[in-house]
């Protein structure tokens, strides 16, 4: 399965991978070493362009705005639990019963799915989920639909080399996937993924560093994912947006994260500021923000303040009516607040979190519906293409 799965990832991303060396500066807490020094970035405002020597064009940046012709479904944090992820996708009406673990069946027509980040950590099947979502996306595109995955704080942690939430099963999955990449793409990958390392634990950790370090194959894949995405009249972000993010420029935030994950050294001050707003370890960066995640505000004034900030943020985004976030588990399931302008979709479905029953959010025009096992999707529009 993993051999086929490795091929399903973008060959271009694998060719662009810059493999980490296992010598030099230590990776904090990981027990292995840091990636190779990174090259300097062009300013994030610069568009991708062909190589000056006539080589292939630089990798495209992830989208900020897309138009969805049909339903839009928001899927919360799945944290390495492929069983719960599949249940959620079935509830959403996009994953059929006719497929199998290797070849899933898309039945969502022109539905657009947005998974709001945190595929990684706390569960054993992270790479399998990434593969599942990518395979569904390829099928969905043929019917006018799509599957988008956002970057969350746990994707950022892993690209940063912080593996404190990685399960033993996920380390083993990383090692197996690294071995398949070596089989598929040859010796240049061998040392990066543990090579002749005899100690199983060290080999697993080295494989994970090789995959997820900036410029590594899976970091390259994550770089293709947006950190902020606007679909029709809804903006999606893992933690949440603040007015200062919008004022600075959401496109810049997406591009700075993509460059960092691709192994580009961020040297321009504006780009460094963008990266900090997007993924920095401050309480209101896009992936760490919990301003809007509180399920039950302590006081009415706390709620009013959050709704006021939310209103200012959305009012600065023309045509955007609501925000959808994950990041903070909602013990009561998906829910909305501030007159339906904020929706929270992290229900803690992974058994690495609380193992709650999966729920997803369906948006059709101005109608927002929480779907679960009791209220599954019932109006899946078939593609007209």
Of residues 23 and 294, the one with the higher pLDDT is 294
pLDDT for res 155: 98
Q: Is 154 a catalytic residue?
A: yes
Number of domains the chain contains:
1
* Average pLDDT estimate for 113-130: 98
Q: Is 329 helix (H, G, I), strand (E, B) or coil?
A: coil
Domain containing 114 equals 66-156+221-371
Query: What is the rounded distance in angstroms from the CA atom of residue 83 to the CA atom of residue 99?
Result: 14
pLDDT for res 378: 59
* Confidence check: pLDDT of 137 > 70: yes
- On whether the CB atoms of residues 380 and 107 are closer than 8 A, the answer is yes
pLDDT for res 193: 84
* Average pLDDT estimate for 189-204: 85
* 341-348 long-range contacts, CB within 8 A, separation 24+: 341/307, 341/310, 341/311, 341/314, 342/240, 342/292, 342/307, 342/310, 343/74, 343/368, 344/292, 344/293, 344/295, 345/74, 345/75, 345/76, 345/116, 346/76, 346/77, 346/116, 346/118, 346/293, 347/76, 348/77
* Confidence check: pLDDT of 17 > 60: no
* Average pLDDT estimate for 336-359: 97
CATH number at residue 360: 3.60.21.10
* Average pLDDT estimate for 87-105: 93
What pairs with residue 66 in β-bridges?
231
* Confidence check: pLDDT of 128 > 90: yes
pLDDT in tens, 363-382: 999 999 999 988 767 544 33
In a domain, 161, yes or no: no
> What separation in angstroms does the CA of 162 have from each of 121, 187, 214, 327, 347?
10, 27, 12, 17, 24
> How high is the mean pLDDT of the chain?
86
Residue 258, phi then psi, degrees to nearest 5:
-60, -45
* Confidence check: pLDDT of 91 > 80: yes
pLDDT for res 9: 54
In a domain, 261, yes or no: yes
* Average pLDDT estimate for 116-121: 98
Query: What is the rounded distance in angstroms from the CA atom of residue 373 to the CA atom of residue 347?
Result: 13
* Average pLDDT estimate for 266-279: 95
pLDDT for res 373: 87
pLDDT in tens, 218-238: 999 999 999 999 999 999 999
Helix (H) or strand (E) holding 149: strand 146-149
Q: Are strands 112-115 and 146-149 parallel, antiparallel or unpaired?
A: parallel
* Confidence check: pLDDT of 179 > 80: yes
* Average pLDDT estimate for 108-117: 98
In a domain, 165, yes or no: no
pLDDT in tens, 36-78: 334 344 334 333 444 445 555 667 899 999 999 999 999 999 9
pLDDT for res 36: 33
Q: What percent of the chain has a predicted confidence (pLDDT) above 70?
A: 83
Give 98's contacts (C-beta < 8 A, 6+ positions apart): 105, 107
In a domain, 61, yes or no: no
Q: Which of 154, 180, 238, 327 is catalytic?
A: 154
Q: What percent of the chain has a predicted confidence (pLDDT) above 90?
A: 73
In a domain, 282, yes or no: yes
In a domain, 21, yes or no: no
pLDDT in tens, 278-335: 999 889 999 999 999 999 899 999 999 999 999 999 999 999 999 999 999 999 999 9
- On whether the CB atoms of residues 58 and 51 are closer than 8 A, the answer is yes
* Average pLDDT estimate for 174-199: 85
In a domain, 341, yes or no: yes
In a domain, 335, yes or no: yes
pLDDT band at 16 (very low <50, low <70, confident <90, very high): low
pLDDT for res 361: 98
* Confidence check: pLDDT of 32 > 50: no
């Amino acid at each position: 399965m993993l051999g086929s799965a490795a091929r399903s990832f973008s060959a271009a991303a694998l060719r662009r991978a810059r493999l980490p060396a296992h010598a030099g500066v230590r990776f904090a807490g990981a027990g292995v070493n840091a990636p190779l020094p990174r090259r300097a970035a062009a300013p994030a405002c610069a568009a991708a362009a062909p190589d000056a020597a006539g080589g292939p064009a630089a990798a495209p940046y992830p989208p900020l705005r897309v138009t969805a012709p049909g339903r839009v479904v928001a899927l919360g944090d799945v944290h390495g639990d492929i069983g719960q992820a599949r249940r959620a996708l079935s509830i959403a009406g996009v994953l059929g019963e006719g497929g199998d673990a290797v070849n899933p069946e898309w039945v969502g027509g022109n539905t657009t799915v947005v998974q709001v980040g945190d595929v990684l950590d706390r569960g054993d099947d992270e790479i399998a989920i990434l593969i599942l979502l990518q395979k569904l996306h390829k099928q969905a595109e043929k019917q006018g639909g799509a599957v988008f995955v956002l970057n969350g704080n746990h994707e950022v942690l892993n690209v940063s080399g912080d593996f404190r939430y990685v399960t033993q099963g996920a380390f083993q999955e990383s090692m197996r996937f690294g071995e398949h990449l070596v089989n598929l793409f040859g010796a240049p990958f061998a040392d990066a993924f543990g090579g002749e390392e005899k100690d199983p634990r060290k080999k697993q950790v080295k494989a994970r560093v090789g995959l997820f370090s900036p410029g590594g194959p899976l970091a390259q894949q994550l770089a293709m994912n947006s950190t902020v995405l606007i679909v029709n009249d809804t903006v999606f972000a893992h933690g949440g947006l603040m007015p200062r993010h919008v004022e600075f420029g959401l496109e810049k935030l997406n591009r700075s994260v993509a460059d960092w994950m691709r192994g580009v050294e961020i040297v321009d001050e504006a780009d460094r500021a963008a990266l900090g707003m997007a993924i920095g370890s401050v309480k209101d960066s896009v992936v760490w923000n919990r301003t809007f995640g509180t399920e039950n505000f302590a006081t009415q004034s706390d709620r009013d303040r959050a709704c006021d900030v939310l209103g200012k943020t959305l009012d600065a985004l023309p045509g955007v009516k609501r925000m959808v976030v994950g990041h903070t588990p909602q013990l009561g399931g998906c829910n909305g607040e501030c007159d339906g302008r904020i929706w929270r979709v992290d229900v803690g479905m992974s058994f690495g979190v609380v193992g709650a029953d999966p729920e997803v959010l369906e948006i059709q025009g101005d109608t927002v519906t929480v779907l679960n096992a009791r209220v599954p999707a019932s109006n899946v529009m078939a593609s007209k293409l």
